[in-house]
Amino acid sequence: MPPELPPELPPELPPDLVDSHCHLDFPDFAEELPEVIARATAAGVTRMVTICTRLRNEPQVRAIAEAYPQVYYAAGTHPMSATEEPLATLDQLIAIARHPKMVGIGETGLDYHYTADSKAIQQTSLRIHIEAAQETCLPLIIHARDADDDMAALLTAGYRAKPYTCVMHCFSSGATLAQAALDLGFYLSMSGIAAFPKSQPLRDIFARAPLDRVLLETDSPYLAPPPYRGRRNEPAYTAFTAKAGAQVFHISEADFAAATTANFDRLFPKARPA
Rg (CA), the chain: 17
Strand, helix or coil for residue 43: coil
158-185 residue pLDDT tens: 999 999 999 999 999 999 999 999 999 9
Mean pLDDT of 60-77: 98
Strand, helix or coil for residue 188: strand
| For residue 10, pLDDT beyond 70 | no
For residue 11, what pLDDT is reported? 52
Q: What are phi and psi of 243, to 5 degrees?
A: -60, -45
Mean pLDDT of 38-55: 96
83-106 residue pLDDT tens: 999 999 999 999 999 999 999 999
| For residue 186, pLDDT beyond 90 | yes
| For residue 7, pLDDT beyond 50 | no
Q: What is d(CA 205, CA 187) in angstroms, rounded to the nearest whole number?
A: 13
- DSSP state at residue 88: P
Name which of 128, 143, 53, 62 is nearest 93 in CA terms: 128
pTM for the structure as a whole: 0.94
Query: 1 falls in which pLDDT band (50, 70, 90)?
Result: very low
209-257 residue pLDDT tens: 999 999 999 999 999 999 999 999 999 999 999 999 999 999 999 999 9
* CATH number, span 17-268: 3.20.20.140
132 neighbors 93 (Cβ within 8 angstroms)? yes
**How would you class 8 by CB atoms within 10 Å of its CB: exposed for 0-12, middle for 13-18, buried for 19 or more?**
exposed
pLDDT top residue among 95 and 11: 95
pLDDT top residue among 14 and 141: 141
Residues forming a β-bridge with 105: 75, 140
Mean pLDDT of 194-208: 98
Query: 3 falls in which pLDDT band (50, 70, 90)?
Result: very low
